[in-house]
Structure 1
Amino acid sequence: MDSKDYIASGILELYVAGSLSEKENQEVYKAMQKYPEVLAEVQSIENAIVKLTAFSKKDSAYSFDSIKNQLKVEQPKVIPITKPKTNWLQYSGWAASLLIGSILIFTLSKNNQLKQQVASEKEVLEAQIDSASTNLAAAEKLIEVFRDKDIISVPLAGQTVSPTSYAKVYWDKKTNSIYLDAKGLPEPPKGKVYQVWSLKLSPLTPTSLGTLDSFTADNNKIFTITNANESEAFGITLEPAGGSLSPTLEQLYTLGAVSS
């Protein structure tokens, strides 16, 4: 509807009288903003009503009731030109969009965290499988060693400082190595370490085979040690961390001679 149609339709009079719906008020308001002539017509109608109202006070024969009949309205009222009400539905839509966007971002973040967690758990599982395979291979190797008829078995009995201690050496002369089962030794005190010795008995000559630095961390307590000596006995002492050049005999935990 153009400006001429608005002016000729009579809707402007109803707008001034306050008889239109909210939607129709908004349409007229938009037309007033778009067409200066429509705004001028509304203002003209308002001025006319004001003048007629003033005239009716002077001449009761021409009452305001006749004006109401001409305009065909029940309760005439001048409607001030105001902006339409705020469209809260539009703002609600924006708020809903922001909320949905936040939820999507949060969900994507959680999915990424879950993927990282799954990847990390997968790496741990693969490491455990590799470790289990390695441990199984080592266990099978030990079984072969213990069953080999050429392996020399040397039991080490507990000594004065720790009578209940015990250990066992499996000596493989072909590979110049020993397998030490030290499960019978107690946990060493803090700052101390077990040291393994190869012994010649006459005269008594000790040769260090190294310290058991991983004793506490090793659950099986089985250690592979190189031994190229012509050993006549094996002993284990408790020494300060880092080991000693010669065994501390007062801290001799186990001792065993090789059978001839």
Structure 2
Amino acid sequence: MNTREYIESGVLELYIFGKLSESENEEVQVYANEYPEIKQEIESIEKAIINLSYSVAPNLSLDNFNTIRKALLERESGVVTLKPKSNWPAYMGWAASFLLLLGAGFLYFQMNQNDTLLKDSREKNQDLQKSVVTLEEQNKNNETLLNLFKDENNKVVALAGQTVAPEAKAKIYWNQNDHSVYVDAAGLPEPPKGYVYQVWSLKMDPLTPTSIGLLEKTEIGKSRIFKVDNTMDAEGFGITLEPAGGSAAPTLEQLYTLGKV
């Protein structure tokens, strides 16, 4: 048998397109099993169809396309066996369905990819917005601190560490106009669980302590600057460690810092 003439006769294309009769289909399958070059030509035609289909969706991911390609090309027979078609429009319907399937797969993949990109973009935008808010808060806090330090009406009272905590220290910013009091507690150790620092305004003769607040919530971000109650006639300030909620009178054994105005 002259296999070259048989290949060039066009019968293999008609076989792939389903245009042969049942007996002619069987004849092609017999020749394909008997002559490797005929089987190889059939596979080449199949690959050409797949490549044409791929051109419809050129942006289909390589992994997804190779999965489809592998499923079609790596079958045991290596030959597409189609039922004979009675007319050319039927074949066109099959080809259009195949191309539509690939196109739908591409669109589905593209939609998922776009959804992922949109989600990433939203998350990055939210992170950016949080960063902007954080920077705005930091700038506001820094401006408040700067004004606090620069205000000439503020009297700065240094509080030194006492017997229970010699290394402790704090600063009082007491405004002589509006009588507001800020406490810089950066030099105080973290209080034990269940305890809180309490600030006292002191009159010295006789010694009369008045509570002006607890150091529970920072007034300015994470700077450990606390706003406590106003006081008008303090002669000194002290800070003690008290049970959570504070005490009616200072626990002198837990006096951490003390300073005179």
Give 5+ residue unaligned stretches, structure 2.
1-13, 25-81
How well do the aligned residues superpose, as a CA RMSD in angstroms? 3.5
Partner of 1:199, secondary structure, is strand
The alignment status of 1:117 with 2:113, answered yes or no, reads no
Pick closer, same or farther for the CA change 1:89–1:210 going to 2, 3 Å: farther
Q: TM-score if structure 2 supplies the norm length?
A: 0.58
Higher gyration radius (CA): 1
- Written as runs of structure 1 = structure 2, the 5 A alignment for 1:91-170 is 97-98=100-101, 101-102=104-105, 104-170=107-173
The alignment status of 1:183 with 2:179, answered yes or no, reads no
Supply the AA of the counterpart residue of 1:247: P
The answer for the alignment partner of 1:66 in structure 2 is none
Partner of 1:210, secondary structure, is strand
The answer for the alignment partner of 2:21 in structure 1 is 25
Supply the AA of the counterpart residue of 1:232: E
The alignment status of 1:231 with 2:244, answered yes or no, reads no
**In the TM superposition, what whole-angstrom CA distance separates every residue of 1:183-211 from its partner, at most 9, and x where no partner exists?**
11111222222222222222322222222
Partner of 1:198, secondary structure, is strand
Partner of 1:187, secondary structure, is coil
Once residues 201 and 105 of structure 2 are traced to their aligned partners in structure 1, the CA distance between those partners, rounded to angstroms, is 71
Give 5+ residue unaligned stretches, structure 1.
1-20, 29-82
Partner of 1:190, secondary structure, is coil
Partner of 1:207, secondary structure, is strand
Offset of 1:212 from its aligned partner?
Answer: 1.8
Partner of 1:224, secondary structure, is strand
The answer for the alignment partner of 1:209 in structure 2 is 212
Aligned residues: 183
Confirm or deny: 8 A CA contact 1:198 1:229 kept in the other structure: no
Confirm or deny: 8 A CA contact 2:185 2:224 kept in the other structure: yes
The alignment status of 1:173 with 2:164, answered yes or no, reads no
Identity of aligned residues (%): 43
Once residues 157 and 179 of structure 1 are traced to their aligned partners in structure 2, the CA distance between those partners, rounded to angstroms, is 16
Once residues 98 and 252 of structure 2 are traced to their aligned partners in structure 1, the CA distance between those partners, rounded to angstroms, is 82
Once residues 154 and 237 of structure 1 are traced to their aligned partners in structure 2, the CA distance between those partners, rounded to angstroms, is 16
Offset of 1:151 from its aligned partner?
Answer: 1.5
Once residues 133 and 221 of structure 2 are traced to their aligned partners in structure 1, the CA distance between those partners, rounded to angstroms, is 17
Pick closer, same or farther for the CA change 1:144–1:218 going to 2, 3 Å: closer
Supply the AA of the counterpart residue of 1:169: I
Offset of 1:27 from its aligned partner?
Answer: 11
Offset of 1:167 from its aligned partner?
Answer: 0.6
Once residues 225 and 92 of structure 1 are traced to their aligned partners in structure 2, the CA distance between those partners, rounded to angstroms, is 81
Once residues 247 and 95 of structure 1 are traced to their aligned partners in structure 2, the CA distance between those partners, rounded to angstroms, is 86
Partner of 1:234, secondary structure, is strand
Once residues 98 and 214 of structure 2 are traced to their aligned partners in structure 1, the CA distance between those partners, rounded to angstroms, is 70
The answer for the alignment partner of 1:252 in structure 2 is 255
Confirm or deny: 8 A CA contact 2:198 2:242 kept in the other structure: yes
Supply the AA of the counterpart residue of 1:221: R
Supply the AA of the counterpart residue of 1:143: L
The alignment status of 1:221 with 2:195, answered yes or no, reads no
Partner of 2:108, secondary structure, is helix
Partner of 2:250, secondary structure, is coil
Supply the AA of the counterpart residue of 2:235: E
Pick closer, same or farther for the CA change 1:182–1:109 going to 2, 3 Å: same
